[in-house]
Homo-oligomer: A and B are copies of this chain.
Amino acid sequence: MGSTPQPRRGNTRQRIQDVALELFAEQGYEKTSLREIAERLQVTKAALYYHFKTKDDILSGIFEDLNRPVEELLEWGREQPRTLETKKEILVRYSEALKAAAPLFVFMQENQAAVRDLSIGPTMKQRVVALVDLIKEPDAPLTDQVRCFTALFAMHAGMMALRDAEGDPEEKREAALEVAIELVTKAHDPGPTA
């Protein structure tokens, strides 16, 4: 009882990443110690160091794996014409990407300060900038910039409200997407007001 040895050779690296992300998202990066990760895996701290060079490295690994779809989205987006349709499609795809990597994004949203001077910090920042660049017009006025930036945030926030609130996560995601599209649409073609 409770003693299943679970050898599972070969996949330890993956298991470390899984547990680490789980704890990082739950408690924050700084408050999660390697001891804790190791204990939950029934492994020694030293074992973690066989698979990863540093704590930072564990996070990097997770990020690289889960972030690939977003990177691909960026590449795809850069080759499209900057039409409203394209922008909408980007939002839709981004929303999908978020769904797949929800815990990572929740984590990054809630641990910005901690993540900032980790090795993924710069990458992350660039990625946000790049995304905004794809959905806003080159010389958009400040208000439209805010709209686009907020559209992204809305989608991240959709993930986080998942923590507390009532309601199906999937529905929330769709609602967030809808609002994001609305914002970007308005930014694309300001209409009568400005």
Contact = CB atoms under 8 A, between A and B. Distances in A.
A192 B161 CA distance: 27
A30 interface: yes
Interface of A is mostly: helix
A56 to B, nearest CB: 13
A88 to B, nearest CB: 15
Interface in A146-194: 146-147, 149-150, 153-154, 157-158, 161, 164, 167, 171-172, 175-176, 178-179, 182-183, 186, 194
A89 B143 CA distance: 19
A167 B153 contact: no
Contacts of A176: 146, 150
A157 B146 contact: yes
Interface stretch (A2-10, A57-65, A71-79, A104-112): A104-112
Contacts of A28: 30, 113-114, 116
A114 B114 contact: yes
A96 to B, nearest CB: 17
Given A109-B112, A111-B113, A149 B178 contact: no
Nearest to A152: B157
Contacts of A161: 146, 149
B110 A112 contact: yes
B178 A143 contact: yes
Contacts of A31: 30, 113-114
A157 B167 contact: no
10 contacts: A107-B113, A113-B114, A114-B114, A146-B161, A146-B172, A150-B153, A150-B154, A150-B157, A179-B183, A183-B183
Nearest 8 interchain pairs by C-beta: A28-B113, A30-B30, A110-B112, A110-B113, A142-B175, A150-B154, A143-B175, A146-B175
